[in-house]
Amino acid sequence: MDQGIYTAAAGAIGMEARLNIISNNIANINTIGFKKDDISFEEFERLLDTYTLAEGQYKRIPIDVIAEEGHIDKTQGPVRHTGNPLDLAIIGKGFFVVKTPKGMRYTRAGNFHISLDGLLVDINGNAVQGEGGDIALEQGKVIISPDGDIKENGASIDKLKIVDIPSQYLVKEGKNLFNIRKGGTPIPVHIPSISQGNLEMSNVEAVKEMVGLITTQRAYESFQKVIKTFKDTYSMSIRDIGTLA
């Protein structure tokens, strides 16, 4: 079968993967602390069967494109003022650390509250971690300084545990939480920048994503048309070749 249909199919598969990522980004445009995903492509090369004596080597030609593993865009999202003292935004690098049933996880979503047990927790009920572990609070006035120090009614409670994670080791786990790939290690951020009474919003740019959605959809449809053209040509050849005199 002609290589062209495989190349067109590879292009369609790549565009489908990109469509899925863009759709997910758009769906989370209002998700607090959400970090958008992106995807890149690379050429897939094949060695020609014939050995080229002039060049003294087998010749490589690009025949397909394949989607590389998606990566997470850690760009800072816009900050929205809420006035809630338990709403926190990290300005710059870093992640909040929360304790889940599966172990420590990481998030940029700082919409916290006090649980019935008196602990500072995230929207999923996971305990936010300080340098001393779980952060216990009452119903007093909470002041959190830009470097993460927590005071309640003037008394020092703890300091927020903020860590950074290299992009190549960062992986999404659902519920706006991140985990670390094997081989990665969280790096403590000793002097973070915390903004109390604010929330970091999603870093998804609506216009940019919509333009990407439209262009990707058109590219996907073009690849489908190419595939159909090849299929129609093959069908015609099979049907008509036997009728030639």
Q: Say whether both 99 and 29 belong to one domain.
A: no
Say if residue 194's pLDDT is above 80.
yes
The Cα 10–Cα 44 span in angstroms is 10
Least confident window among 58-67, 176-185, 190-199, 204-213: 58-67
Task: Return the amino acid letter for 220.
Answer: Y
Span 226-235, mean pLDDT? 69
Average pLDDT of span 173-190? 94
What pLDDT, in 10s, does the model give residues 71-100? 899 999 999 999 999 999 999 999 999 999
Does residue 16 sit in the same domain as residue 120?
no
Same domain? For 108 and 176 the reply is yes
Does residue 140 share a domain with residue 181?
Answer: yes
Residue 188 lies in a domain: yes
Whether residue 83 sits in one domain with residue 183: yes
In a domain, residue 178? The reply is: yes
User: Which DSSP string corresponds to 24-88?
Assistant: HHHHTTTSTT---EE--EEEEEEEEEEEETTTTEEEEEEEEEEEPPPEE--PPPPEEE---TTBE
- Calculate what percentage of the chain has a pLDDT beyond 90: 62
pLDDT band for position 236 (cuts 50, 70, 90): low
- Does some domain include residue 245? no
Whether residue 189 sits in one domain with residue 96? yes
Token pair, residue 233, equals 């040509």
Residue 244 forms part of a structural domain: no
Q: Are residues 183 and 127 in the same domain?
A: yes
Q: What is the mean pLDDT of residues 181-196?
A: 95
pLDDT at position 91: 97
The mean pLDDT value for 121-132 works out to 97
How many of the other CB atoms lie within 10 Å of CB of 105? Answer: 24
What residues does 104 pair with on adjacent strands? 99
Burial 142-179 (b: 16+ CB within 10 A, else e): bebeeebbbebeeeebbbbbbbbbeeeebeeeeebbbb
In a shared domain, residues 103 and 196:
yes
pLDDT at 237: 64
Q: Within a domain: residue 11?
A: yes
| Whole-structure pTM value | 0.78
The pLDDT confidence band at residue 230, using thresholds 50, 70 and 90, is: low
- Domain that residue 100 falls in: 79-200
Are 118 and 156 within one domain? Answer: yes
**What integer pLDDT is reported at residue 17 of this predicted model?**
84
Q: Are residues 94 and 31 in the same domain?
A: no
> For position 139, what pLDDT does the model report?
84
Residue 112 maps to a domain: yes
Q: Please give the tally of structural domains in the chain.
A: 2
- pLDDT for the residue 47: 44
Answer yes or no: is 146 within a domain: yes
Q: Looking at the structure, do residues 107 and 180 belong to the same domain, yes or no? A: yes
Report the distance separating Cα 167 and Cα 150, nearest Å.
Answer: 28
State whether 181 and 213 are in the same domain. Answer: no
Look at residue 157 and tell me if it is in a domain: yes
- 5 pLDDT band, cuts 50/70/90, is low
